[in-house]
């Protein structure tokens, strides 16, 4: 093995991930006068899920009709099927309006009525119109670019892109920083920090069809788990029911159809060109507000019954909508569709469930701190607020709200403690991986990732059986063994084989945990559906948490955290 | 008959460059990025190029030259013919099709200049 010279950095607050949660955390920590280092394995503010969120943002602003965060909370808890950490859900809903108004002041460009009121759409699972958006599928890019501009204005925030964090460093049971490597030149990096915020999103990349960026491989979960923190609700992967399937469509987010479905009443049809959600006890009555888990169920059951579309989904049809209304609602999107050969007045598109979001994640207290002191987490990286099923529109809201709170908390803590407990001796083992070269091998990590994605889609998708989950565990264990214990030798600059190796290391650990939690939960609830245990069971109204013991993930059950009764009123 | 695209790609890094040819099967409507990702899985995992969002043209990372024109690989169509792919000519070359496109103050060099 050869060992390379290491880049050494130091900061009060280290923020890992630069989506909405990470950027919000960095801004808040800087405003609290801590020194901040914001790192991302991709470019700052461009990867992750936020930039892909072409959808809506749920917040009780009351611009359309009177609203209150308590109503938003009631809908969030109802969607979560009894598993929401109500304390976290409350924080999300209560702080949402401030977060959305702050972005408005930063000129994100929320769509407005002529009289100046912010427009709020009525999305599935909400009791009233509550979801703000930037028009024509621009919500995520607008949120990302607004936050990126604010991060740049907070000139003390140091930003480093193309920096892949491979492990957190824990000294005396306390977070002390992280190690990794620079993707652009291959140099190993050691970052000493007083506090660390993990904000690098979810795990949708574990699945073949997904709606997020290529860097959403569950790395935050793996980092936290290996550092000694716990994960919660890992069996709950949200599938987005109507991801685009066919015809091949480029330059568009695969989840683009949803807002148009609510705006225009797009119809879901099976191969007999018949609406079918009513058959599953989910009458839509023209409202198109069936929740995501129920829509996913109905679509997959139609496909299973042989009534799917040629590409393996169902049809989404706007043919009943006049061309001028399509143009009004879709705006420039109509032209982008035309470039892909799609004319909605004549043709239906094919849609199918795709992995979209992870309800589970790092277990945190309402302060956003994990069980490891000085280790915080925010955004999709945390679990709990959304229980067994996330309410439409809550993802960006939680990223903004939890990011800000984690940033404030981590900065406050950093200012109270003297220094990072970092000791080189404690970091040495973690640093060895990115700093050294394993043996040359014929391993193709890109192919192994593709195999894992296919396995997760077929055996750990929205519908699960004991046999499928057991099969997945065997395969994951085998793939983990083939990965070996050291990365392939470094080629230096932009070494994708090595990057894939580190990604796969995280993906396999997280896939194992998701599968293990899904196997243990012998009931069906929200996004976790067991074909062999189809009923929701009162006994299972508990959260499963996962921690590593002697390097192996171990599950335990804990009661769901409820609000004190006076707070819920 | 399966249609194939022939991607002729400028590989390597400054001082050690070469051109490699890859034949990839494709279905109509696919992007150049689809072809590149397929090469990594099926033929050569070391082929370097940037991408993050895959399909949405949101991250703007997959910018490269295709047949002499600067394009985003995620929205450039793959075609059943020979296509020449090169890194951006006006950015520092990292490896294969990946160039240094991060703003200068967001690079590790800004805080830790390389020694060599």
Encode pLDDT of B35-81 as tens digits: 999 999 999 999 999 998 877 788 889 999 999 999 999 999 999 99
All residues of chain A having their beta carbon less than 8 Å from the beta carbon of residue B46 are 491, 495-497
All residues of chain A having their beta carbon less than 8 Å from the beta carbon of residue B45 are 444-447, 496-497, 500
Q: Which of A252, A491, A495 sits opposite B55 (nearest CB)?
A: A252
C-beta atoms of B102 and A44 within 8 A: yes
All residues of chain A having their beta carbon less than 8 Å from the beta carbon of residue B94 are 184-185, 493-494
C-beta atoms of B53 and A47 within 8 A: yes
- Of A207-221, A247-261, B86-100, highest mean pLDDT: B86-100
Nearest residue on chain A to B112, alpha-carbon basis: A7
pLDDT at residue A261 in the model: 82
Given a cut of 50, is residue A91 above it in pLDDT?
yes
pLDDT at residue A106 in the model: 98
According to DSSP H, which parts of A340-423 are helical?
A: 394-416
What's chain B's average pLDDT? 92
Band the pLDDT of A2: cuts 50, 70, 90: very low
Q: What is the DSSP string of A487-540?
A: PPPP-STT-HHHHHHHHHHHHHHHHHHHHHHHHH--S-BTTBEETTB-S--GGG
Question: Which structure tokens are listed for A182?
Answer: 């620079």
pLDDT at residue A14 in the model: 98
Nearest residue on chain B to A151, alpha-carbon basis: B106
pLDDT at residue A565 in the model: 55
Given a cut of 50, is residue A171 above it in pLDDT?
yes
Band the pLDDT of A503: cuts 50, 70, 90: very high
Say how many residues make up chain B: 116
Chain A residues 448-467 with CB within 8 Å of chain B: 449-450
C-beta atoms of B96 and A42 within 8 A: no
Average pLDDT of the segment spanning A499-527: 97
Residue A238: how many CB atoms within 10 A of its CB? 26
pLDDT per residue as tens digits for the range A24-62: 999 999 999 999 999 999 999 987 888 887 778 999 999
C-beta atoms of A496 and B41 within 8 A: no
More confident residue, A385 or A135: A385
As a whole number of angstroms, the distance between CA B112 and CA B107 comes to 9
* Collapsed DSSP state (helix, strand, coil) of residue A73: helix
pLDDT per residue as tens digits for the range A114-164: 999 999 988 888 999 999 999 877 899 999 999 999 999 999 999 999 999
Q: Is A81 left (phi over 0), alpha (psi -120 to 50) or beta?
A: left
C-beta atoms of A185 and B108 within 8 A: yes
A-B Cβ pairs (cutoff 8 Å, strict): 144
Q: What is the DSSP string of A142-181?
A: HHHHHHHHHHHHSTT-EEE-SEEEEEEEEETTEEEEEEEE
Given a cut of 90, is residue A535 above it in pLDDT?
yes
As a whole number of angstroms, the distance between CA A403 and CA A476 comes to 32
pLDDT per residue as tens digits for the range B71-108: 999 999 999 999 999 999 999 999 999 999 999 999 99
All residues of chain A having their beta carbon less than 8 Å from the beta carbon of residue B102 are 43-44, 161-162, 184
Average pLDDT of the segment spanning A358-371: 98
Given a cut of 60, is residue A567 above it in pLDDT?
no
As a whole number of angstroms, the distance between CA A272 and CA A436 comes to 58
Q: Which residues of A are catalytic, by number? A: 292
C-beta atoms of B57 and A444 within 8 A: no
What are the phi and psi torsion angles at A222 (to 5°)?
-65, -40
Q: In degrees, to the nearest 5, what angle opens at C-alpha A34 toward C-alphas A33 and A40?
A: 125
C-alpha to C-alpha distances, A410 to A32, A197, A222, A373, nearest whole angstrom: 9, 7, 21, 10
Q: What is the DSSP string of A248-269?
A: ---SS-TTTHHHHHHHHTPEEE
Among A189, A163, A157, smallest CA distance to A36 is for A157
Say how many residues make up chain A: 569
Nearest residue on chain A to B97, alpha-carbon basis: A494
As a whole number of angstroms, the distance between CA A141 and CA B83 comes to 30
pLDDT at residue A48 in the model: 83
Among A409, A406, A389, A400, smallest CA distance to A50 is for A400
What's chain A's average pLDDT? 93
- Residue labelled with tokens 């984690």: A406
What are the phi and psi torsion angles at B63 (to 5°)?
-70, 130
All residues of chain B having their beta carbon less than 8 Å from the beta carbon of residue A247 are 29
C-alpha distance from A189 to closest chain B C-alpha (Å): 9
Cβ atoms of A355 and A207 closer than 8 Å: yes
């Amino acid at each position: 093995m050869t060992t390379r010279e290491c880049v050494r950095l130091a900061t009060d607050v280290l923020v890992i991930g630069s989506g909405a949660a990470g950027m919000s955390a960095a801004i808040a920590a800087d405003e609290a006068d801590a020194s901040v280092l914001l790192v991302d394995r991709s470019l700052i503010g461009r990867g992750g899920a936020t930039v892909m969120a072409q959808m809506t943002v749920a917040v009780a602003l009351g611009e359309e009709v009177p609203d209150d965060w308590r109503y938003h909370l009631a809908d969030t808890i109802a969607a979560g099927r009894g598993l929401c950490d109500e304390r976290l859900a409350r924080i999300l809903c209560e702080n949402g309006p401030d977060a959305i108004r702050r972005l408005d002041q930063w000129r994100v460009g929320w769509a407005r009525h002529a009289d100046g009121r912010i427009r709020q759409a009525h999305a599935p699972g909400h009791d009233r119109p509550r979801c703000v958006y930037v028009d024509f599928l621009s919500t995520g890019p607008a949120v990302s670019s607004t936050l990126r501009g604010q991060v740049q204005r907070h000139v003390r925030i140091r930003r480093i892109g193309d920096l892949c964090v491979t492990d957190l460093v824990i000294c005396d049971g306390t977070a002390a920083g992280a190690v990794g490597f620079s993707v652009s030149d291959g140099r190993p990096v050691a970052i000493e920090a007083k506090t660390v915020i993990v904000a690098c999103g979810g795990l949708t990349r574990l699945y073949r069809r997904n709606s997020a960026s290529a860097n959403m491989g569950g790395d935050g979960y793996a980092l936290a788990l290996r550092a000694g923190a716990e994960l919660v609700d890992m069996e709950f992967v949200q599938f987005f029911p109507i991801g685009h399937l066919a015809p091949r469509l480029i330059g568009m987010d695969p989840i683009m159809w949803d807002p148009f479905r609510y705006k225009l009443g797009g119809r879901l049809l099976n191969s007999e060109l018949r609406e079918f959600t009513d058959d599953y006890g989910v009458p839509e009555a023209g409202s198109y507000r069936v929740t995501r888990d129920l829509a996913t169920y109905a679509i997959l059951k139609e496909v299973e019954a042989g009534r799917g579309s040629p590409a393996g989904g169902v049809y989404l049809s706007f043919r009943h909508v006049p061309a001028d209304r399509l143009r009004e609602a879709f705006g420039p999107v109509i032209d982008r569709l035309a470039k892909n050969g799609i004319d909605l007045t004549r043709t239906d598109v094919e849609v199918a469930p795709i992995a979209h979001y992870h309800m589970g994640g790092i277990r945190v207290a309402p302060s956003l701190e994990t069980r490891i002191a000085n280790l915080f987490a925010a955004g999709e990286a945390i679990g709990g607020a959304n229980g067994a099923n996330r309410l439409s529109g809550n993802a960006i809201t939680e990223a903004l709200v939890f990011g800000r709170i984690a940033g404030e908390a981590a900065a406050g803590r950093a200012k109270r403690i003297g220094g990072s407990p970092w000791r080189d001796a404690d970091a040495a083992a973690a640093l060895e991986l990115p700093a050294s070269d394993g043996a040359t091998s014929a391993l193709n990590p890109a192919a192994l990732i593709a195999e894992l994605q296919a396995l997760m889609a077929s055996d750990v998708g929205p519908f699960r059986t004991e046999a499928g989950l057991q099969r997945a565990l065997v395969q994951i264990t085998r793939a983990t063994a083939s990965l070996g214990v050291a990365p392939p030798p470094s080629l230096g600059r932009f070494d994708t084989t090595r990057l894939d190796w580190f990604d796969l290391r995280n993906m396999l650990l997280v896939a194992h945990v998701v599968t293990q939690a899904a196997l243990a939960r012998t009931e069906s609830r929200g996004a976790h559906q067991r074909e062999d245990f189809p009923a929701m069971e009162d006994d299972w109204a508990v959260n499963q948490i996962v921690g590593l013991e002697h390097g192996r993930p171990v599950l335990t059950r804990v009661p769901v955290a409820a609000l004190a009764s006076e707070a819920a009123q | 008959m399966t249609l194939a695209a022939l991607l002729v790609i400028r590989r390597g890094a400054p001082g050690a460059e070469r051109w490699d040819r890859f034949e990839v099967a494709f279905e109509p409507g696919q992007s150049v990025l689809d072809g590149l990702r397929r090469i990594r899985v099926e033929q050569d995992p070391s082929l370097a190029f940037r991408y993050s969002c895959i399909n949405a043209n949101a991250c703007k990372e997959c910018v490269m030259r295709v047949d002499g024109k600067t394009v985003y690989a995620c929205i450039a169509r793959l075609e059943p013919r020979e296509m020449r792919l090169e890194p951006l000519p006006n950015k520092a070359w990292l490896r294969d099709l990946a160039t240094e496109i991060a703003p200068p103050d967001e690079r590790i060099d800004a805080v830790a200049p390389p020694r060599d």
